[in-house]
Amino acid sequence: MAEITMQQRDELHRAIWAIADDLRGSVDGWDFKNYVLGTMFYRYLSERFSAFIEKTEHDAGNLDFRYSSLSDEDALSIGEEEIADIIKTIGFFLKPSELFYNVCKRADKDPNLNETLEKIFRDIEASSKGTDSEDCFDGLFADFDVNSNRLGASVVKRNERLVKLLWGVRDMKLGAVNGHDIDAFGDAYEYLMTMYASGAGKSGGEFYTPQDVSELLTRLGTVGKTQVNKVYENCTTSLIRIQAA
């Protein structure tokens, strides 16, 4: 799988700045990071789930099948056992109406957008309950407070900013979900940390080590070694122990 290119990285950074400009003055840096990453991950989960369902149908010869075009009733009509098998394989379940792009299409016309997103996030987490993936999804969107006054003093204002957030992430050129290994998301996280870690205090500033420092430590730790089989990272990239094979 290809790594994110410099051009893609620059476009991604510009897109993040554009969202920051839209939300400037309402959401501080550290909270902004949580909203952007939460929205990006929601998009990723939606794309991953759709791709998984569609591949099964396409492999069976149904090449025109698009999961996003189904009604929720049709998607759920496969039965609880089949849905349980899907969750066991991919870790969660999303109804077509809950998919990121479908929510984006009607976002500016949804007077209850904050409640819509809150329910979708709860449904994603709830779908994994009692499965091997429960720990991965429990509290996944806990930092994405759709009802926070930081987004706006009224529901209308909060929803206006949520629309800008959704559309901003929608327009990010992240590539097809099967065409990358989520490098773009990792790069976005690092870029947001770079933007805001210095002012984050104990919330995160001291837990962030710039990539260049981590790379230097790794290079120093591997001097004279021709093969490495273990890397120990003690909570942060500030301490790295490397054991030769």
Q: What is the pLDDT of residues 41-77, one digit of tens each?
A: 899 899 999 999 999 899 999 999 999 999 999 999 9
Better-scored residue on pLDDT, 29 or 122:
122
Q: What is the pLDDT of residues 192-201, one digit of tens each?
A: 777 766 555 5
Q: What is the rounded distance in angstroms from the CA atom of residue 82 to the CA atom of residue 79? A: 6
pLDDT of residue 216: 78
**Among residues 164, 188, 163, 161, which one has the least CA distance to residue 174?**
188
pTM, rounded to two decimals: 0.76
Q: Is the pLDDT of residue 170 over 50?
A: yes
CB 170 within 8 A of CB 61: no
pLDDT of residue 23: 73
Mean pLDDT computed over 115-134: 95
pLDDT of residue 217: 75
CB 129 within 8 A of CB 106: no
Q: What is the rounded distance in angstroms from the CA atom of residue 15 to the CA atom of residue 245? A: 42
What is the 8-class DSSP label of residue 238? T
Which domains can be identified in the chain, with CATH numbers?
6-207 (1.20.1260.30), 209-245 (no CATH)
> What average pLDDT does the chain have?
81
Mean pLDDT computed over 133-144: 91
Q: What is the pLDDT of residues 68-114, one digit of tens each?
A: 999 999 999 999 999 999 999 999 999 999 999 999 999 999 999 99
pLDDT of residue 230: 64
How far the first Cα of the chain sits from its last, in Å, is 27
Q: What is the pLDDT of residues 8-26, one digit of tens each?
A: 778 888 888 888 777 765 5
pLDDT of residue 164: 92
Give 167's contacts (C-beta < 8 A, 6+ positions apart).
Answer: 104, 107
Angstrom CA distances, 179 to 109, 150, 186, 231, stand at 32, 35, 15, 28
pLDDT band at 181 (very low <50, low <70, confident <90, very high): very low
Identify which of 162-166, 185-189, 215-219, 236-240 has the greatest average pLDDT.
Answer: 162-166
pLDDT of residue 90: 93
Mean pLDDT computed over 35-41: 88
